């Protein structure tokens, strides 16, 4: 039976880059990929179409899909909306409604792009880190939360950072499993010197680790981890951390590669159903100009084929095609370098299709 993929372009450059990724998926039908794709609005587009960032029809579609391809959400025209109607709420709603608790954010430096990093080439050459970010708990979702008035009339804002043992255990196990398939080193990032929630986090991660004796487990405070990431990132193999720490560290890790336009991500539930999206945002400043880099989204399709749809061979094929396109010197403006040829979104997508046919 064919597998169903929900295609959610979202806002800004999401529309252009998802179109290229969808063409790649369509093309792979020639190689036996048995899928059906259905498009739906989310984020600002959801608000425009149905008055809310995660329309009911979109939610129904993603729930019955085997995998979701997402572009990006957000744009300046939506910033004045009340918080619950903002595009980001659509994204957070997808994560929580689908139970996508495990966010995999690789930071890989393509050898062809070594000069794109702002760090010295020897610090980042060959970089290959996987950040496993907890995505449906912690301070992003903790209750109580809000803005309230104190007795003296002054307002205060408050959020709750809370993790249960089972939430920590399941994300730790995802990270250990991934470490087993890679370099067998896992660094758990916390703030156990200050926060009780981190104290428990560390305890639970250590306990889960007893089932993974081959994985070398280490712990690092988040401030130090941020510093170590820019100092000597190659010391890391897999990192696992809470929702907000992961949000911050994964941006830093992505930038180590100098090409955030190249990095895919996966958000998985307990059954490996997943949502796949580029790490970068909707980039309203370049939206509609045909210059956005579609490769992160195309590489997200590769992750989808590997983690949710069980077509690892086709995933390899996409990753090879991207490598070949880079080898040939094709570059979108964000990764442009001397001696290369600058191309737009569509031309880059077509080049990948060309490699897939070769
Ligand atoms: C991310 C983004 C989101 C987050 C925003 C858009 C809500 O920064 O996916 O990293 O904070 O999780
Ligand atoms: Mg972020």
pLDDT score for 74: 97
Q: Give me the CATH topology for the region 1-102+261-358.
A: Isopropylmalate Dehydrogenase (3.40.718)
Q: Which atom of ligand 1 is the closest one to the Cα of 135?
A: 12
Can you give the pLDDT at residue 173? 98
- Mean pLDDT computed over 318-334: 96
CB 248 less than 6 A from any atom of ligand 1: no
The yes-or-no verdict on residue 183 having pLDDT over 90 is: yes
Q: Give dist(CA 304, CA 264) in Å, integer.
A: 10
Q: Are strands 3-10 and 35-39 parallel, antiparallel or unpaired?
A: parallel
The pLDDT tens digits of the residues spanning 119-139 come to 998 999 999 999 999 999 999
pTM: 0.93
Q: What are the helix (H) ranges across 1-83?
A: 14-28, 44-50, 56-63
Output the CA angle 39-280-116, nearest 5 degrees: 135
Q: What does the DSSP assignment read for 158-220?
A: E------HHHHHHHHHHHHHHHHHTTSEEEEEE-TTT-HHHHHHHHHHHHHHTT-TTSEEEEE
Cα 102 to averaged position of ligand 1 atoms, centre (Å): 14
Look up the CATH number of domain 128-256: 3.40.718.10
Q: How remote is the CA of residue 139 from the centroid of ligand 2, in Å?
A: 14
In the three-class reduction of DSSP (H, G, I as helix; E, B as strand; rest coil), residue 12 is classed as coil
> Cα–Cα distance between 32 and 1 in angstroms, integer?
12
Active site residues: 140, 191, 223, 247, 251
Locate the domains of the chain by residue range.
1-102+261-358, 128-256
Residue nearest to atom 8 of ligand 1 (CA): 247
Backbone dihedral angles phi then psi of residue 183, each to the nearest 5 degrees: -85, 5
Equal fold, 1-102+261-358 vs 128-256: yes
Q: What is the pLDDT of residues 232-290, one digit of tens each?
A: 999 999 999 999 999 999 999 998 988 889 999 999 999 989 999 999 999 999 999 99
The mean pLDDT value of the chain amounts to 96
CB contact at 8 A, 340 and 332 = no
Cβ–ligand 1 contact at 91 (below 6 Å): yes
- Res 1 pLDDT > 90: no
Q: What is the pLDDT of residue 124?
A: 93
Contacts of residue 14, Cβ cutoff 8 Å, sequence gap at least 6: 43, 70, 71, 72, 73, 282
Q: Burial level of 95, CB count in 10 A (0-12/13-18/19+)?
A: buried
Check residue 114 and give its pLDDT.
83
**Is 139 touching ligand 1 by the criterion CB < 6 Å?**
no
65-111 pLDDT per residue, tens: 999 999 999 999 999 999 999 999 999 999 999 999 999 999 999 88
Residue 251 CA: which ligand 1 atom is closest? 10
Pairing of strands 274-278, 155-158: unpaired
Q: Is the CB of 279 under 6 A from ligand 1?
A: no
pLDDT in tens, 161-176: 999 999 999 999 999 9
Share of the chain above pLDDT 70, in %: 100
Q: Which of 71, 88, 242 to mutate to test the pocket of ligand 1 (most atoms within 8 A of CB)?
A: 88
Q: Is the CB of 247 under 6 A from ligand 1?
A: yes
The pLDDT score that the predictor gives to residue 160 is 98
């Amino acid at each position: 039976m064919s597998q169903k993929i929900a295609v959610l372009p979202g806002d800004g450059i999401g529309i252009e880059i998802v179109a290229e990724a969808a063409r790649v998926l369509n093309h792979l039908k020639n190689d036996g990929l048995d899928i059906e794709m259905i498009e739906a609005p989310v984020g600002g587009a959801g608000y425009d179409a149905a008055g809310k960032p995660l329309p009911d029809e979109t939610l129904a579609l993603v729930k019955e899909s085997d995998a979701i391809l997402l572009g990006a959400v957000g744009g300046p025209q939506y910033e004045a909306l009340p918080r619950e109607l903002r595009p980001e709420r659509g994204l957070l709603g997808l994560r929580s409604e689908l139970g996508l608790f495990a966010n995999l954010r690789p930071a890989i430096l393509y050898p062809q792009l070594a000069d794109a990093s702002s760090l010295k080439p020897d610090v980042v050459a060959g970089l290959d880190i996987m950040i496993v970010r907890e995505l449906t708990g912690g301070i992003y979702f903790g209750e109580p939360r809000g803005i309230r008035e104190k007795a003296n009339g002054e307002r205060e804002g408050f959020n709750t950072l809370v993790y249960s043992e089972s939430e920590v255990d399941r994300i730790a196990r995802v990270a250990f499993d991934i470490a087993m398939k890679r370099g067998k080193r896992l660094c758990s990032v916390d703030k156990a010197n200050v926060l009780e929630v981190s104290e428990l986090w560390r305890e639970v991660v250590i306990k889960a680790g007893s089932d993974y004796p081959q994985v070398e487990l280490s712990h690092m405070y988040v401030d130090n981890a941020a510093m170590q990431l820019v100092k000597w990132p190659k010391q890391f193999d897999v990192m696992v951390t809470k929702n907000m720490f992961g949000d911050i560290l994964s941006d830093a890790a992505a930038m180590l590669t100098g090409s955030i336009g190249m990095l895919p991500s996966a958000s998985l539930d307990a059954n490996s159903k997943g949502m796949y999206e580029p790490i970068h945002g909707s980039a309203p400043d370049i939206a509609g100009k045909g210059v956005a880099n579609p490769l992160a989204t195309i590489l997200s399709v590769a992750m989808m084929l590997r983690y949710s749809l069980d077509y690892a061979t086709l995933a390899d094929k996409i990753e090879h095609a991207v490598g070949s396109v880079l080898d040939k010197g094709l570059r979108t403006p964000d990764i442009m370098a001397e001696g290369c040829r600058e191309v737009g979104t569509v031309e880059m997508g077509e080049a990948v299709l060309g490699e897939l046919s070769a």
